[in-house]
Chain A
Amino acid sequence: GAGVSQTPSNKVTEKGKYVELRCDPISGHTALYWYRQSLGQGPEFLIYFQGTGAADDSGLPNDRFFAVRPEGSVSTLKIQRTERGDSAVYLCASSFRQGTSNEQFFGPGTRLTVL
Chain B
Amino acid sequence: QQQVKQSPQSLIVQKGGISIINCAYENTAFDYFPWYQQFPGKGPALLIAIRPDVSEKKEGRFTISFNKSAKQFSLHIMDSQPGDSATYFCAARSTDKLIFGTGTRLQVFP
Contact = CB atoms under 8 A, between A and B. Distances in A.
B96 A42 contact: no
Interface string A86-104: 0000010100000010111
Interface stretch (A13-21, A65-73, A76-84, A105-113): A105-113
Contact of A104 (B6, B41, B46): B46
B8 interface: no
Contacts of A45: 97-99
B95 A56 contact: yes
B43 A42 contact: no
Interface residues of A, number: 26
Contacts of B44: 43, 91, 106
A91 B95 contact: no
Interface of A: 4, 31, 33, 35, 40-45, 48, 50, 55-56, 59, 91, 93, 100, 102-109
20 contacts: A31-B96, A33-B98, A40-B103, A41-B102, A41-B103, A42-B6, A42-B103, A43-B44, A43-B100, A45-B99, A56-B97, A59-B97, A91-B44, A100-B32, A102-B32, A103-B49, A104-B46, A106-B36, A106-B44, A108-B43
Given A42-B102, A103-B34, A109-B43, 17 more contacts: A40-B103, A41-B102, A42-B91, A42-B100, A43-B89, A45-B97, A45-B99, A50-B96, A56-B95, A102-B32, A102-B96, A103-B46, A104-B46, A105-B46, A106-B36, A107-B43, A108-B42
